[in-house]
Structure 1
Amino acid sequence: MGSPKAAKSMVKQRIWRHRLVAPFAAVLITAVVVFSGLFAQDPSEFIGTRSHLGVHCRERGWSLGFRIRTGLVGFSNLISKVQQPEDLPTRRILQQLHLSKNWMLEILSPIKLSKAPCLQQAREGQQRQCRSNEKEAVEDLVCSPAIIVKQSPDATNVAHTVYTCFLDSHLEPEEKQSPPQDQEGEETSAKSGLVQYTTCTPRTGATVCDLSNQRYDICELCGDARAIGRSSTVMYVPQPLTSNGEEWNIPAQSRKSLPWIKKVTVKTLKASQQAPSCTSRHTMPAIVFALGGFTGNVWHDVSDVLVPLFLTARQFDQDVQLLVTDNRPWFIKKYSAILRRLTRHSVIDFDADDEVRCYPHVIVGLRSHRDLGIDPDSTPQKNYTMVDFRLFVREAYGLPAPGVDIPYRADKDEPEKKKPRMMLIERGKTRRLVNTPDVLLGLGWFGFEVVRADPRTHSDLEEFARLVDSCDAMMGVHGAGLTNMVFLRSGAALVHVVPYGVEFMADGFYGAPARDMGLRHVRYSVGPDESTLLEKYGRNHAVVRDPEAVRSGGWEKVGEVYMTEQDVVLNVTRFGPSLLKAIEFIV
Structure 2
Amino acid sequence: MLTNKMAQRSRTKPANSQHDDQEPKHHKHHHVLRSILLLLLIIYTITSMQRLLISPHPPPLLLHLDQETKNNLQADHHKQSNNPTLCSSLIDGSITDVNTVLCCDRSHERTDVCYMRGKIRTDHNTSTILISGPGLDTESSIRAETIRPYTRKWEAGIMNTIDELTLRPSPSDSLHTACDVMHAVPGVVFSTGGYTGNVYHEFNDGLIPLYITTERFEGEVVLVVLEYHSWWMTKYGSVVEKMSNYEIVDFRRDRRVHCFSELIVGLKIHGELTIDPYLMPKGNKGINDFQALLNQGLTPSNPNHFMQSQVSLSLPLPQEQKPKLTIFIRNKSRVILNLKEVIRACQRVGFNVQILNPKRSTPLSEIHTALSSSQAMLAVHGAAMTHFLFMQPGSILIQIVPLGLDWPAETYYGEPAKKLGLRYMEYKLAKHESSLSKEYDSHDPVLVNPLVITSKGWSETKKIYLEKQNVRLNIRRFSKELARAHCHVYDTKVL
Q: TM-score, normalised by structure 1?
A: 0.61
Q: How far has the Cα of 1:586 moved from its partner?
A: 1.4
Relative distance call for 1:201 and 1:347 in structure 2 (3 A) is same
Establish whether residue 221 from structure 1 lines up as the match of residue 116 from structure 2.
Answer: yes
User: Of residues 250, 254, 274 in structure 2, which corresponds to 1:353?
Assistant: 254
Q: How far has the Cα of 1:398 moved from its partner?
A: 2.5
CA distance in structure 2 between the aligned counterparts of 1:212 and 1:220, rounded to whole angstroms: 14
Match of 2:24 in 1: none
CA distance in structure 2 between the aligned counterparts of 1:337 and 1:202, rounded to whole angstroms: 34
Do the aligned residues in 2 keep the contact of 1:285 with 1:321 (CA within 8 Å)? yes
Q: Match of 1:253, SS? A: coil
Relative distance call for 1:355 and 1:381 in structure 2 (3 A) is farther
User: Of residues 166, 175, 200 in structure 2, which corresponds to 1:265?
Assistant: 166
Match of 1:212 in 2: 107
Q: How far has the Cα of 1:279 moved from its partner?
A: 2.2
Q: Match of 1:456, SS? A: coil
Do the aligned residues in 1 keep the contact of 2:188 with 2:264 (CA within 8 Å)? yes
Do the aligned residues in 2 keep the contact of 1:244 with 1:270 (CA within 8 Å)? no
CA distance in structure 2 between the aligned counterparts of 1:349 and 1:558, rounded to whole angstroms: 37
Do the aligned residues in 2 keep the contact of 1:200 with 1:361 (CA within 8 Å)? no
User: Of residues 503, 506, 510 in structure 1, which corresponds to 2:406?
Assistant: 503
Q: How far has the Cα of 1:274 moved from its partner?
A: 3.8
Establish whether residue 363 from structure 1 lines up as the match of residue 260 from structure 2.
Answer: no
Q: How far has the Cα of 1:384 moved from its partner?
A: 2.2
Q: How far has the Cα of 1:381 moved from its partner?
A: 3.1
Show the 5 A alignment for 1:139-538: 201=96, 203=98, 208-241=103-136, 242=138, 243-256=140-153, 257=155, 258-270=159-171, 273-274=174-175, 276-398=177-299, 418-456=321-359, 459-538=362-441
Q: Match of 1:489, SS? A: coil
Do the aligned residues in 2 keep the contact of 1:287 with 1:365 (CA within 8 Å)? yes
CA distance in structure 2 between the aligned counterparts of 1:534 and 1:202, rounded to whole angstroms: 64
Q: How far has the Cα of 1:554 moved from its partner?
A: 0.9
Q: How far has the Cα of 1:344 moved from its partner?
A: 1.6
Do the aligned residues in 1 keep the contact of 2:179 with 2:257 (CA within 8 Å)? yes
CA distance in structure 2 between the aligned counterparts of 1:380 and 1:530, rounded to whole angstroms: 47
Q: Match of 1:521, SS? A: strand
CA distance in structure 1 between the aligned counterparts of 2:274 and 2:260, rounded to whole angstroms: 30
Relative distance call for 1:539 and 1:287 in structure 2 (3 A) is same
Q: What is the RMSD computed on CA atoms of the aligned residues?
A: 2.3
Show the 5 A alignment for 1:116-155: none
Match of 1:541 in 2: 444
Question: Match for 2:103: what amino acid?
Answer: V
CA distance in structure 2 between the aligned counterparts of 1:458 and 1:230, rounded to whole angstroms: 33
CA distance in structure 2 between the aligned counterparts of 1:346 and 1:205, rounded to whole angstroms: 26
Do the aligned residues in 1 keep the contact of 2:133 with 2:172 (CA within 8 Å)? no
Q: How far has the Cα of 1:329 moved from its partner?
A: 1.1
Question: Match for 2:447: what amino acid?
Answer: V
Match of 1:567 in 2: 470
Q: How far has the Cα of 1:399 moved from its partner?
A: 6.9
Match of 1:13 in 2: none
CA distance in structure 2 between the aligned counterparts of 1:202 and 1:229, rounded to whole angstroms: 29
Q: Report the identity percentage.
A: 31
Question: Match for 1:572: what amino acid?
Answer: I
CA distance in structure 1 between the aligned counterparts of 2:256 and 2:224, rounded to whole angstroms: 12
Q: How far has the Cα of 1:565 moved from its partner?
A: 0.4
Q: How far has the Cα of 1:202 moved from its partner?
A: 5.3
How many residues matched?
A: 376
Q: How far has the Cα of 1:544 moved from its partner?
A: 0.9
Do the aligned residues in 2 keep the contact of 1:298 with 1:483 (CA within 8 Å)? yes
Higher relative contact order (CA 8 A, sep 6+): 2
Q: Match of 1:455, SS? A: coil
Q: TM-score, normalised by structure 2?
A: 0.72
Relative distance call for 1:278 and 1:199 in structure 2 (3 A) is farther
CA distance in structure 2 between the aligned counterparts of 1:268 and 1:417, rounded to whole angstroms: 64
Do the aligned residues in 2 keep the contact of 1:237 with 1:275 (CA within 8 Å)? no
Q: Match of 1:342, SS? A: coil
